[in-house]
């Protein structure tokens, strides 16, 4: 017991030191900005002299800030694990959001400029999100993923389109009654619906890995959350382009171009991900880059190097994920928000209702083609596991307020929806899994006989398909 309190006190001191460094960093950045403005106002910026040493903050601003956030978040995550009772009730994501809110309140109390600790969409999509998505693709069980690829694509593509259209049209229909504070055009509402329909792979990964759900249910939900990112981004860009054109200026050619871009960007990303796996990977292709790289990396490096790569990817992904959730909490404490109770409440209601309806309708048709059916409990967990998170937040912050006047309402609503899903659904999904007795994943390695039998059956099926002149799923899986 004494050792526990010693570790806890040491961890607390690290948290305090990290926060003090972060606060000093933010304040020093704010002072530098004020000094530059003062020099420009007085016209002294051209009065230069030789300096023995100078502080080139702008060169290291982004990596240094991210590193300091990672330090604070990592120490906090270690501190959370010391309290098993706290972790058993709250998911790590919700605790990190709470910590972000606390940090934001302290910075707000000292009247710190919000721009000093604001995370822009470029930092999110280029620095923080890629390690998480790549780690997910690298460690994804390939066999289970490709065995259920048809089901995953159905939920990811058709499900996202269903949610975007139904949520957007429902919100627009309600807005015609004048219930909302701001009158929003149809294209702007559809743009918001496309970003709020993205099921976040970060939030889903955190919750379902803690629960240890059976592999089939896990891979379907997790695979959907990864692949629907491309669908959400394409829909987001389509409606954003339509908003720039103007509702009255859209012609048939624009609609056809939007449909073509949907298939080119969405499905072309899979091919580009495999081709670029040996070069570089973009955000929408990085999942399949990780899937393809794993097959060749592990066969060409030593066992020690494999362990190093695995732990490095896990550490990098966990650090990025931690920083993102903390920034979500930090963004709550801001004067930028605009509250609309009706819009927020109806958005949450439509997200829950239409995801449930979409899962039930799609599963009804999918089960007709599946050998192992998805039962009612599985459908409930899939519908309830539709958490929103950083993807939606990154997309909503990228909106141009000049183009979308209702951006403040959209940002506030997105944050509330994320909090609702992460806290309420994330905290209650474990008791629901235990109450409904959902099948868990078996924690055992296959015997040598089982592995040899599985490989033998795979090669037999591939051989039969090759003799018959077919290029079915078994040959594709063997090649991958």
Tokens of 270: 């899979």
pLDDT digit string (tens) for 61-111? 667 776 777 777 777 777 777 777 777 778 778 888 888 888 888 877 777
**At residue 50, does pLDDT exceed 50?**
yes
Burial class from Cβ neighbours inside 10 Å (0-12, 13-18, 19+) for residue 450 reads exposed
* Beta bridge partners of residue 213, listed in sequence order: 440
3-state secondary structure 214-265: CHHHHHHHHHHHHHHHHHHHHHHHHHHHHHHHCHHHCCHHHHHHHHHHHHHH
- Average pLDDT on 469-475 reads 63
pLDDT tier, 7 (very low <50, low <70, confident <90, very high otherwise):
very low
178: left (phi over 0), alpha (psi -120 to 50) or beta: left
pLDDT tier, 171 (very low <50, low <70, confident <90, very high otherwise):
very high
Q: Taking Cα atoms as reference points, which of 363, 365, 392 lies closest to residue 377?
A: 363
pLDDT digit string (tens) for 206-241? 667 776 778 888 889 888 887 787 778 788 888 887
Q: How far apart are CA 332 and CA 316, in angstroms?
A: 25
* Beta bridge partners of residue 440, listed in sequence order: 213
pLDDT digit string (tens) for 308-332? 998 999 888 888 888 888 888 888 8
pLDDT digit string (tens) for 416-470? 999 998 888 888 887 888 888 888 777 667 788 887 888 888 778 777 877 777 6
The CB density around residue 428, as the number of other CB atoms within 10 Å, is: 12
% pLDDT > 90, the chain: 17
Residue 279's H or E segment, with its range, is none
């Amino acid at each position: 017991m004494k050792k526990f309190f010693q570790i806890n006190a040491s961890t607390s001191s690290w948290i305090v030191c990290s926060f003090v460094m972060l606060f000093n960093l933010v304040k020093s950045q704010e002072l530098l900005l004020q000094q530059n403005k003062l020099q420009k106002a007085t016209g002294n910026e051209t009065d230069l002299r030789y300096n023995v040493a100078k502080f080139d903050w702008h060169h290291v601003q982004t990596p240094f800030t991210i590193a300091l956030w990672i330090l604070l978040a990592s120490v906090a995550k270690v501190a959370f694990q010391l309290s098993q009772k706290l972790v058993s009730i709250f998911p790590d994501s919700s605790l990190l959001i709470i910590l972000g809110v606390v940090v934001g309140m302290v910075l707000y109390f000292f009247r710190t400029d919000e721009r000093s600790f604001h995370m822009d969409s470029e930092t999110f999509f280029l620095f923080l999100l890629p390690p998480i998505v790549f780690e997910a693709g690298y460690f994804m069980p390939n066999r289970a993923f490709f065995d259920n690829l048809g089901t995953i694509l159905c939920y990811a593509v058709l499900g996202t389109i269903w949610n975007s259209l139904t949520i957007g049209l429902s919100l627009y229909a309600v807005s015609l009654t004048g219930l909302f504070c701001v009158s929003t055009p149809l294209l702007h509402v559809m743009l918001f619906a496309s970003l709020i329909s993205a099921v976040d792979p970060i939030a889903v990964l955190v919750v379902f890995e803690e629960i240890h759900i059976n592999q089939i249910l896990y891979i379907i939900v997790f695979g959907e959350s990864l692949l629907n990112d491309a669908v959400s981004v394409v829909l987001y860009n389509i409606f954003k382009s339509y908003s720039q054109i103007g509702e009255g200026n859209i012609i048939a050619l624009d609609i056809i171009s939007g449909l073509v871009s949907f298939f080119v960007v969405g499905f072309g990303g899979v091919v580009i991900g495999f081709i670029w796996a040996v070069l570089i990977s973009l955000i929408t292709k990085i999942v399949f880059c990780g899937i393809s790289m794993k097959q060749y990396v592990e066969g060409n490096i030593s066992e020690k190097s494999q362990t190093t790569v695995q732990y490095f990817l896990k550490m990098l992904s966990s650090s990025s994920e931690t920083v993102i959730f903390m920034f979500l909490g930090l963004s709550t404490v801001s004067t930028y928000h605009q509250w609309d109770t009706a819009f927020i409440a109806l958005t949450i209601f439509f997200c829950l209702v239409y995801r449930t309806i979409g899962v039930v309708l799609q599963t009804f048709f999918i089960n007709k083609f599946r050998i192992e059916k998805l039962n009612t409990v599985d459908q409930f967990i899939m519908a309830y596991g539709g958490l929103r998170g950083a993807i939606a937040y990154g997309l909503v912050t990228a909106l141009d307020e000049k183009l979308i006047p209702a951006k403040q309402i959209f940002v506030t609503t997105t944050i509330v929806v994320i909090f609702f899903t992460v806290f309420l659904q994330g905290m209650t999904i474990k008791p629901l899994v235990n109450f409904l007795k959902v099948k868990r994943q078996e924690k055992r390695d296959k015997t040598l006989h089982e592995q040899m039998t599985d490989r033998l059956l795979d090669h037999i099926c591939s051989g039969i398909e090759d003799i018959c002149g077919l290029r079915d799923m078994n040959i594709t899986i063997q090649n991958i």
